[in-house]
Structure 1
Amino acid sequence: MPDEIRKVSRLVLLDPDDRILLMHGFEPGDPSSTWWFTPGGGLEGDETREQAALRELAEETGITEVELGPVLWRRTCSFPFDGRRWHQDEWYFLARTDRTATDTSGQTGLELRSVSELRWWTSAELSAARETVYPTRLAGLLRTLLDEGPPRTPLVLDPENA
């Protein structure tokens, strides 16, 4: 059904230096269309949001040693990708790790066709970036998180539709 909302868990994964891990994605049919985004993906079966976040992180980055924190932000989004339109209800979890080495061997076929690299970003680098990053306010959200700590209740971000 085309209007089905996909439940998604994403991670704001920070290392000991407060750098955030982002993935560099591209449209499989048009590799010139690129953006950066946080690790995560859709829930499978009867997974909880937390279980999906940890599974997706392990698949996409090889990182399993994490301390999963609270939900920071929630947003809905809709976008075309790989020949279809995706409608998502995304929850962004805070997570911390001491491990910065990544391993992409667990990525799915679609991820292998649409992710070119993983990179740790400082808040300053993210603020200076001229590339597309999702969610679009991530640089400011990260700065606020680092300055003030997690919000008491998840912030509801403006919907994004592409």
Structure 2
Amino acid sequence: METSTDLDRIDRKILHALQGDGRITTTDLAERVGLSTTATAERMKRLIREGYILGFTAELNPQKLGLGLLVFVEVKLDKTTADVFDAFATAVGRSPEVLECHMVAGGFDYLIKSRVRDMTHYRRFLADVILNLPGVRETHTYAVMEDVKDTHVLPLWA
């Protein structure tokens, strides 16, 4: 796969604009980046085809949906073997409550991100989901008190 060094200034402008507004029309995007609509549409197709754009989604308001508590959970496994890693990853993949899960280097094995209604629901999630994942030996939970910065916008310099 190509790296970001294969992108020119216009490609970066397109990506930057789409991160800010994924619903922007091709015509408006073309005006913003200084190309024709056809050239902009072709660049977007290429950026999708080459894997720079993974998809388009709507960002939902977790508060409005009753998912006001954001938690991060450190997970230590009882063994760090390929079969335990595979079983854990498979189980996490089937858990819709898990928003993100990252294998990390350091003092624990995985970092899980989840949103739940409140602490009562988190307690249930911990008991029913996290502690039942294969190989879990120990967890540490961090409940978020305030979002200081929360973005998925990648830093692109044109």
Larger C-alpha radius of gyration, 1 or 2? 2
TM class, shorter-chain normalised?
A: under 0.3
TM-score by length of 2: 0.26
TM-score by length of 1: 0.25
Higher helix share: 2
